[in-house]
Structure 1
Amino acid sequence: MSTKNITSIILLFALIVLLSSCGLNDLDNYDQPDAGLSGRIVDDETGELVQQDIIRGGVIEIVENGYVTPQYLVLKNDGTYANTRLFANSYTVQPKRGNFKVVDPQEVNVKGQTTLDFRVTPYIRIKDLDIEKDGNIIRATFRLEQTSVSNVLKVGLYAHPDPNVGEPMHLARKEVNVNEIVDPNEVFQIELDTFSDPDLREGKLIFFRVGALIDVPEAKFNYAAAVSIKL
């Protein structure tokens, strides 16, 4: 290869490096997200967090001022949400597709780490819950308090080693079809036999959670907090 060709290659390589470094400098000059939004979904009567499903659960819709396309945050199992990487701006925020009655959107100015809670009315409250182990049987007793005139479709007891257990995430379950408006004084009892299920081995720590589903479009299960039991 001639000296002229080698010189040309060196000059071309130097030009590529120079252009690349300019591009990286341009990228470095872009603003980075400097704010965040977090909050809770709170029962407007009891003040407790409204338990959620981490899979196919409710979401928080966020629309930044000046933009059309929304962002969606999945509600956490315990009824909280968070996005720590937003740009400081005003946003329209609304919970959607949840296990509670529709709530109005709120306008919020996000600057730094901002908190926004929503007070909601859950479709169903699970009351007086007791989950106990009796030999190989896990027995759950509870009452339901519904806030909608729609039927309660079903109730269920769900089991999994993960505390995010629920209807879409379980190793074992026992469900009972209801299909009616419930009497708030009625005591429900669900029994799950662990002996016949190989996933529920003796000595293992398992989380059990009771849920109930209302007959409302896009409604999700309402839950009580999961209870851990060593089998």
Structure 2
Amino acid sequence: MKSIRSLLVIAALIFSACEKDNYDGPTAGLSGSFIDGDTKQLIEQDIIGGTQIELLEHGYDPVEPFFLIVKNDGTYENSMLFENMYTVTPVRGNFIPIQPQELKIAGKTKLDFTVTPYIRVLDAQVTKSGTIVTAKFRIQQNVTNNVKKIGLYVHSDSRVGEPLRLAAAEQDINAVTNPQTVYTLSINVADHTSTLKTGKKHYFRVGAQIDAPSSKLNYAKAVEIQL
């Protein structure tokens, strides 16, 4: 009899373990933009290794952070979050760091971040002549740190940037810059025939990086050029 009773107990435990849980699925979402406080323009990002948004959901100990990826145009969206209070912190950005904030996420919640980019890439013009693609631009620093480098990056993907490129022209600066200085960078397509295919559309984007811990590049918008 004992063995039969034990089998019944085990069967009950297995059945209860297989029952559908009563937890509701995620019903909330968070979206928004990173906006330059002066120009009111979106702040361009790297899609790889760029800005992320750290979320700490309240009510758990210990709290395990998770992260939202910011798109290369400076927007973000996640529609699979649980309704709750969160601590929201942008991290590893290409702008002057801002403080965390507490936010109730319920339904379709929108949160824009108004920030100051480390650098503004101004008046960027990218043109092609023969096999040479040339970028001319100015840069405006918003912090006193040296500008580390500038670069022109090309890829067949419109999310082109320093970590996503088929070819690049970079120049070390390592100095405070004059916002009136016009910089010129060029890529000769003929030097990259194994990666840059003539007759195909490619995207070129100008970037500049400040010399600060964990800083990311600031960018102008990508320009589409037929090679």
Give the TM-score taking structure 1 as reference length: 0.89
Give distance in 2, aligned partners of 1:112 and 1:31.
Answer: 14
- Counterpart position of 1:176: 171
* CA apart distance, 1:23: 3.8
SS of the aligned residue for 1:142 comes to: strand
- Aligned partner of 1:156 in structure 2 is 151
SS at match of 2:19: helix
Point out 4+ residue stretches in structure 1 off by more than 6 angstroms.
Answer: 18-21
The question of 1:200 aligning with 2:196 is answered yes
Q: How does 1:136-147 map to 2 (within 5 A)?
A: 136-147=131-142
- Are 1:66 and 2:78 matched, yes or no? no
Deviation at 1:26, TM superposition (A): 2.6
1:113 pairs with 2:108 = yes
* Aligned partner (choices 122, 130, 133) of residue 117 of structure 2: 122
SS at match of 2:20: helix
Equivalent-residue separation in structure 1 for 2:151 and 2:181 (angstroms)? 16
Which of 47, 50, 59 is matched with 1:57 structurally? Answer: 50
Q: Distance in 2 between matches of 1:21 and 1:34?
A: 28
CA shift at 1:202, angstroms? 1.4
Q: Per-residue CA shift, 1:97-129, capped at 9, x if unaligned?
A: 100001111211111010001000000000011
Question: Corresponding residue for 2:76?
Answer: 81
Task: List alignment gaps of at least 5 residues for structure 2.
Answer: 1-6
Which amino acid in the other structure matches residue 224 of structure 1?
A
Unaligned runs of 5+ in 1: 1-11
Indicate how the Cα distance of structure 1 residues 21 and 80 shifts in structure 2: closer, same or farther if over 3 A, else same: farther
Aligned partners of 1:33, 1:19: CA distance in 2, in Å?
28
* 1:132 alignment partner, one of 120, 127, 132: 127
2:19 maps to which residue? 25
Distance 1:160 1:24 in 2: 50
Distance 1:178 1:126 in 2: 14
Query: Cα offset for 1:25?
Result: 3.2
TM-score (norm 2): 0.91
* SS state at 1:196 partner: helix
Partner of 2:186: 191
Percentage of pairs with the same residue? 48
Matched, 1:214 2:210: yes
Write the deviation string for residues 132-159 of structure 1: whole angstroms up to 9, x where unpaired.
0011000000000010100001100000
Hey, what's the Cα distance between the residues in 2 that align with 1:19 and 1:197? 65
Query: Match of 2:76, SS?
Result: strand
For residue 37 of structure 1, what is the amino acid of its counterpart?
A: L
Matches of 2:111 and 2:44 in 1, distance apart?
Answer: 17
Shift of 1:217: 0.4
Instruction: Give me the CA root mean square deviation.
Output: 1.7
Which of the two has higher C-alpha Rg? 1
